[in-house]
Structures are given as structure tokens and as C-alpha cells.
């Protein structure tokens, strides 16, 4: 009987609400006033008749049963428990209260402390556990109220968990009787709150590596065979349906779980389409680079046996996003994009106003979808993310605060967990904006290119030139070039290609350049993507604004650096790359410049580039020997071309930044 009394003492209103609900508890109190109740006791069980319905009250209370049709804790059981509390505990309330509190501390708390974390992780599963962990690391835990039961609210899932003793009788509004992910999250949150475990002791659940090595290797071999035919025959012998072969190879990559390969082959296919259709956007150099990058990627697949490394090389079909601190964003630019890889849509740009994440001055949200499955292309823009009403262009209407934002690099996820709160109309004339504007072009290069492989991502910058030196339009390339100069006399080119889809912005850029030429006191801020090409830093403009209040630059002397050696290296690398690029035009089978390759090898050796010289001589010998055979196997030649191409890419990358700084003074 003592065990039953203790269980009844613990069963206060909060506990009873936890095993049932507030409505049933309220109804039971009302029934208690009029119900006819009798009881018999056997050991620690009570057999209670409530209006001719038979209840068996056990310990723990949640194990009790009733003869009514209900399959859960019904009003008869709760009425019986309330009656038993009145009958058995009325003579010793203080003693029972003390025993109840002591037992509560010793029972529920001990159960929560001892519950194994591995079991919680398994119940939450990978995605939910990792998401919980990301929030916990930035201090976001579910709210909880600790009474005789512990109530934990999980707002993102719209669920409430009641943690009871014994823990297996805890309740969740998802109605799961098992240890659901919400109950597991509630227990884990309690452990973290009470420092039973530390956040550092928890590690994300990693993906189980399940790479079909045989399938990937077959895919890589197929793609190398296709790329070899392109290089061997050259564009002059490329059939009109070559882009369809590239599309088929991309599909094989997709089915093999190889997203990086799929992306590369789709880009090659689209560039082949541009060649066949005589598009002005076609570039032999870009096609050759795309082919060689794809070839090196396939070679890395064939040369790798470790599943973990293969999984990293193959890439992701969708970017992995991680939760970060609350963000405040200022929208300031929108751009329509069409990718050679087969995507189309809009990109929205934001100034990151938050103190956290200052290493990410700009953030983006992309409303982009593939068009290669849809002959009609995009028909309309998507709905706005983050609980906002309207289409995506509403993002440009106000500054906003994001809670539980998810980031992959500078890209914002459209996750439904993220919520946006409107703050005010966008205002670019504020410190958060002009702190990110460059008035010193050398500083722009040093801060954005010195320590990164800049070809791997966009380099977004805002700059305010001191003046415009010249502006001219190339009819053949359909490109506007604006030569801008900063306070220190350093110059950058702003280059924009004319496209019908961006005609309005192009005309705005032309007007801004004309205004600055005619009125030197007029200042504009340019936002765009910075890149280094042929040793010069240029800007591809995305948006242009009237003057924003940027502090005047400080007066200091600037001395031109002597980087003649680097410039010579860059020139040599470009000449060799241009010669190799001729291969895609005429094909390996018709390529006869092996004497010129030997000459470049001699020049490389004289310059101290011994490794490159050896590769070039080896390539020259293989090409020369090909003239004396009928073999169509160009595998070894293509391997050498790949090695030379890779060397040139790395060498160019290392020298271009230094040259770009020096060339700030040579642009005319």
C-alpha cells in the first residue's frame, strides 16, 4: 500500500495532465463530485468501480487500465486516482508532500541523467539530430517548464513533450507511444541545460559512405572516352549531335551519384551547342578549359579507391546548409542568371548587417531551377521563402531579420525553419553598407584574392571609383569596358556584356559612365563580381548606385612594385595555354606543333620551370611519334595534356594576383 500511496502523492495535476490532457482532468474533477465510487485493495493495486466501470489503478499510474472502450488514460482512471488521493492521503498531507518531492528529485532527474545519449541520437536520426546540434551550438534550446513533470516546447515542429517518471510514459503531442524524435530532443535539451553533458561532447552524425565504386569508375571511363574523342577529332570534325552525347554522359553521371561530373558534362554540352549554333558567346578557350577540368575530375575518380575520398570528389546534388546566428540583411541587388550548365532564374543579394559572420559581407538567395528538362524554360518566379507572402521579388522590399538562418558559404537556404521579420524599407546610406565599399583597389585585391583559389567562387565586392578615365563599347564582343581610377591613381576595368535580358541595367551602366566622364565630382558605387584574368583585375558589374556616404580615403604614398618576372611567367603560361587550346579546334590527330612545344620547353627550362619543361618535351615526343603510327589511341597524349594544363592552372593562379596589383597602374 505504501508504494501506491507514494505514486498517488506524485500524481499531482501537472503529472495527470501529462499522462492525459487538461480537458480530461477538468472533466474528472467534475465527475468526482457525483460519481458512485467503491474500491478494494490488493497489495499495491486498487480495484476501483466508477459508476459501474471497473478501473485497476497500478504503480506506475500510467499502467492503470479501465473496462471502458478508451485505449488511453481515460476520465474514469483519472477520477479514480483523484478519489484515491482524497481517501488515502488526507490524513498525512505534509508527510506525503515531503516524500513526493524527495522521490521526484531522485527518480525523474536520475532517469534523465542516466538516459544514454546514443539512444537519443538514434531516435532523432541524422538530419534532426544534426539540426538540433547546430541550434544548440549557437545557444538555441527548446524552452522548458520544470514542475512535477517537465514540459518542453519544440516550436519548429509545433509539438509539446511532457517528461514523466518513468520516462517511458512521457507524452508527446505527435501521439507517438515510442521514443520519438521530439521526446529524445526534450531529454537531450534537459541534459544540456543542466550540464549533465557538454555541447562539445556531441558530434554531428556523419553520412554513411555508400559509394558504388564500380559504377563510378565505369561512369568516369565512359566520360573520358567521350572527352578523348572530342580532343582527338577537334571541333572541325565534331558532329552536330555532339551536345546530345554530352547530355547522355551527364545522365550517366547523375545515375552514378556523381553530381560534379553531371555539372561538368552539362556545361560542355551547352558550350558545344553554342559552337554548333555559331553563338557570339562561344569561346574555344572556355570549352577547352571545361573539357580539361572534366578530364582531370574523371582521372581523380579512377585514381581513388577510398570510399570516403570518392564521396568527397563526387560532390553533392544539393548544397549542405548549416544553421547560424540570427542575421540582419539589407537587400540591394537582384540579377537574372542563365548558366551554361543548364540553369536559369534570379539571384538576390544582401548586405550582411550582423555583427556575427562579418567574414561574409554579402549573402545571396537563389531562385534558380534547371531548364534542361523543360523545353519552355522558366515561366514564373517562385514564392518567397521564410514565411513571407508573395513572390521572391518581395525580398527586395525591406530590410529583414532572419531567425535560425541556414548558410552554405554565402548562400541562404529557403528552409521553412528560417523565419523572416520585416524591419524597415531598405536604406543603403548607412555604416553597415559603406564599411564594405572599397575606395582602394589594391586593398580590394589583397583582401579578396591573396589567400583563396578565386576561380572556385564568386568574389563579390562594392567599390567607389574616384573617377572614370574612359568608356568604350566593342561591337565584335558586345562588351562595354569602363576604365575606373581610385584616389591613389590605381585603375580597374569594369566590363559588362550586352544581353537582351539585362538591357535596362546595361543602359543604366552606360549612363552612369557618361555622367562621371562629364562630371568628375559625381560618384557612383559599383557592385559586382571581381575576377583576375591575364594579370588584370576586372569587375563584372551587377548593380550601380548613386553616391553613398563613404569616408574619404586617407592620403598615403603608393609605390609601384617590380613584378616583371611574374609578368613574364604569366605571359609564358598564357602562350602555352593558347597553343594547347588549338588542340580542341583541330584535334590531336591533326595537331603538328610539337616543334613549337619543344621551343616552349626550352624557354621554361631557361626560366627555371624544370618540371613544366620535362612535361612539354614528353608531350612533344609523343605527338611526334604519332606521325609514324596509325594508332587511334591518344590516351597517353591526353594524360600529358592534362598534366600540363593542371600545372599551368596552378602557376597562373599563383602569379596573377601579384601581376594584378602591379597592373593597377598600367591600364589605359
Q: pLDDT: is 357 or 273 the higher one?
A: 273
Is it the case that residue 185 has pLDDT exceeding 90? Answer: yes
Is it the case that residue 520 has pLDDT exceeding 90? Answer: no
> Rounded to whole angstroms, how far apart are CA atoms 501 and 262?
27
Q: Helices 213-233 & 242-255, crossing angle to 10 degrees?
A: 170
Fold agreement between 322-427 and 434-546? yes
Q: pLDDT: is 37 or 104 the higher one?
A: 37
CATH for 322-427? 2.40.50
User: Residue 554: its pLDDT value, please?
Assistant: 61
> Rounded to whole angstroms, how far apart are CA atoms 224 and 477?
33
User: Residue 498: its pLDDT value, please?
Assistant: 87
User: Nearest Cα to 488, choosing from 445, 443, 540, 431?
Assistant: 443
User: 506 and 550 in contact (C-beta within 8 Å)?
Assistant: no
User: Residue 101: its pLDDT value, please?
Assistant: 54
Question: Taking phi first (over 0 means left), then psi (-120 to 50 degrees means alpha), and beta for anything else, what does residue 404 get?
Answer: left
Beta strands in 115-182 (DSSP E): 143-146, 150-154, 159-163, 171-172
Range scoring the smallest mean pLDDT among 4-8, 23-27, 553-557, 583-587: 553-557
> Rounded to whole angstroms, how far apart are CA atoms 358 and 381?
30
> Rounded to whole angstroms, how far apart are CA atoms 475 and 316?
40
Coil/strand/helix, residue 38: strand
Q: Helices 2-10 & 75-89, crossing angle to 10 degrees?
A: 110
User: 266 and 373 in contact (C-beta within 8 Å)?
Assistant: no
Query: Per-residue pLDDT averaged across 28-46, rounded?
Result: 90
User: 557 and 587 in contact (C-beta within 8 Å)?
Assistant: no
* Per-domain residue ranges of the chain: 2-91, 106-201, 213-314, 322-427, 434-546, 564-663
* Cβ contacts of 292 within 8 Å, gap of 6 or more: 641, 642, 645
Q: How far is CA 163 from the centre of its chain?
A: 35
Query: Per-residue pLDDT averaged across 605-620, rounded?
Result: 89
Is it the case that residue 562 has pLDDT exceeding 60? Answer: no
* The model scores a pTM over 0.75: no
Q: For 96-116, what is the HEC assignment?
A: HHHHHHHHHHHHHHHHHHHCC
Topology of domain 434-546, CATH: OB fold (Dihydrolipoamide Acetyltransferase, E2P) (2.40.50)
236-245: pLDDT as tens digits: 888 888 889 9
Amino acid at each position: 500500500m505504501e508504494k501506491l500511496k507514494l505514486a498517488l502523492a506524485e500524481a499531482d495535476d501537472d503529472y495527470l495532465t501529462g499522462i492525459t490532457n487538461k480537458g480530461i482532468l477538468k472533466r474528472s474533477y467534475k465527475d468526482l463530485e457525483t460519481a458512485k465510487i467503491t474500491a478494494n485493495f490488493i497489495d499495491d493495486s486498487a480495484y476501483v468501480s466508477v459508476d459501474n466501470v471497473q478501473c485497476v489503478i497500478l504503480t506506475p499510474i500510467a499502467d492503470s487500465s479501465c473496462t471502458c472502450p478508451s485505449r488511453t488514460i481515460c476520465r474514469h482512471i483519472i477520477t479514480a486516482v483523484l478519489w484515491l488521493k482524497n481517501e488515502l492521503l488526507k490524513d498525512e498531507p505534509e508527510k506525503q508532500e515531503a516524500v513526493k518531492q524527495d522521490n521526484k528529485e531522485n527518480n525523474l532527474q536520475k532517469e534523465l541523467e542516466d538516459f544514454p545519449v546514443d539512444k537519443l541520437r538514434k531516435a532523432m536520426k541524422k538530419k534532426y539530430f544534426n539540426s538540433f546540434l547546430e541550434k544548440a551550438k549557437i545557444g538555441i534550446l527548446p524552452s522548458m517548464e520544470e514542475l512535477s513533470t517537465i514540459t518542453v516546447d519544440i516550436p519548429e515542429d509545433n509539438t509539446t513533450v511532457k517528461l514523466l517518471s518513468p520516462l517511458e510514459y512521457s507524452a508527446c503531442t505527435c501521439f507517438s507511444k515510442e521514443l520519438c524524435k521530439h521526446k529524445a530532443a526534450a531529454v537531450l535539451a534537459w541534459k544540456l541545460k543542466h550540464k549533465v553533458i557538454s555541447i562539445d561532447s556531441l558530434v554531428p552524425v556523419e553520412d554513411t559512405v555508400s559509394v558504388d565504386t564500380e559504377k563510378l569508375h565505369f561512369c568516369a571511363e565512359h566520360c573520358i572516352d567521350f572527352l578523348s574523342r572530342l580532343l582527338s577529332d577537334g571541333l572541325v570534325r565534331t558532329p552536330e549531335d555532339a551536345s546530345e552525347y554530352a547530355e547522355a554522359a551527364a545522365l550517366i553521371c547523375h545515375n552514378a551519384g556523381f553530381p560534379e561530373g553531371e555539372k561538368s558534362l552539362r556545361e560542355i554540352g551547352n558550350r558545344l551547342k553554342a559552337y554548333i549554333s555559331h553563338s557570339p558567346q562561344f569561346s574555344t578557350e572556355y570549352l577547352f578549359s571545361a573539357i580539361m577540368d572534366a578530364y582531370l575530375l574523371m582521372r581523380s575518380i579512377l585514381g581513388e579507391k577510398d570510399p570516403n575520398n570518392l564521396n568527397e570528389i563526387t560532390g553533392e546534388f544539393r548544397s549542405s546548409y548549416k544553421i547560424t546566428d540570427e542575421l540582419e540583411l539589407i537587400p540591394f541587388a537582384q540579377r537574372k542568371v542563365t548558366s551554361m550548365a543548364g540553369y536559369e532564374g534570379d539571384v538576390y543579394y544582401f548586405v550582411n548587417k550582423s555583427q556575427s559572420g562579418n567574414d561574409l559581407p554579402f549573402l545571396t538567395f537563389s531562385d534558380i531551377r534547371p531548364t534542361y528538362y523543360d523545353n519552355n524554360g522558366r515561366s514564373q518566379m517562385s514564392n518567397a521563402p521564410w514565411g513571407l507572402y508573395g513572390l521572391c521579388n518581395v525580398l527586395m522590399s525591406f530590410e529583414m531579420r532572419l531567425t535560425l538562418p541556414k548558410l552554405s558559404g554565402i548562400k541562404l537556404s529557403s528552409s521553412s525553419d528560417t523565419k523572416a521579420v520585416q524591419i524597415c524599407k531598405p536604406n543603403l546610406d548607412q555604416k553597415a553598407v559603406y564599411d564594405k565599399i572599397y575606395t582602394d583597389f589594391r586593398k580590394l585585391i589583397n583582401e579578396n584574392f591573396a589567400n583563396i583559389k578565386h576561380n572556385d567562387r564568386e568574389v563579390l565586392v562594392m567599390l567607389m571609383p574616384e573617377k572614370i578615365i574612359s568608356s568604350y563599347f566593342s561591337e565584335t564582343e558586345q562588351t562595354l569596358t569602363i576604365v575606373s581610377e581610385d584616389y591613389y591613381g590605381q585603375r580597374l576595368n569594369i566590363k559588362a556584356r550586352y544581353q537582351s535580358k539585362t538591357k535596362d541595367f546595361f543602359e543604366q551602366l552606360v549612363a552612369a559612365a557618361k555622367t562621371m566622364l562629364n562630371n568628375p565630382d559625381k560618384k557612383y558605387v559599383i557592385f559586382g563580381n571581381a575576377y583576375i584574368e591575364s594579370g588584370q583585375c576586372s569587375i563584372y558589374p551587377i548593380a550601380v548606385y548613386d553616391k553613398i556616404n563613404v569616408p574619404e580615403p586617407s592620403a598615403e604614398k603608393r609605390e609601384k612594385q617590380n613584378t616583371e618576372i611574374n609578368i613574364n611567367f604569366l605571359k609564358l603560361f598564357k602562350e602555352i595555354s593558347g597553343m594547347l587550346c588549338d588542340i580542341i579546334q583541330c584535334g590531336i590527330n591533326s595537331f603538328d606543333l610539337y616543334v613549337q612545344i619543344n621551343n616552349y620547353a626550352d624557354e621554361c627550362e631557361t626560366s627555371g620551370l624544370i618540371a613544366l619543361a620535362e612535361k612539354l618535351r614528353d608531350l612533344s615526343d609523343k605527338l611526334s611519334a604519332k606521325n609514324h603510327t596509325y594508332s587511334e589511341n591518344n590516351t597517353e597524349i591526353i594524360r600529358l595534356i592534362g598534366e600540363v594544363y593542371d600545372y599551368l592552372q596552378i602557376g597562373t593562379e599563383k602569379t596573377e594576383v601579384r601581376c594584378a596589383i602591379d597592373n593597377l597602374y598600367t591600364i589605359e
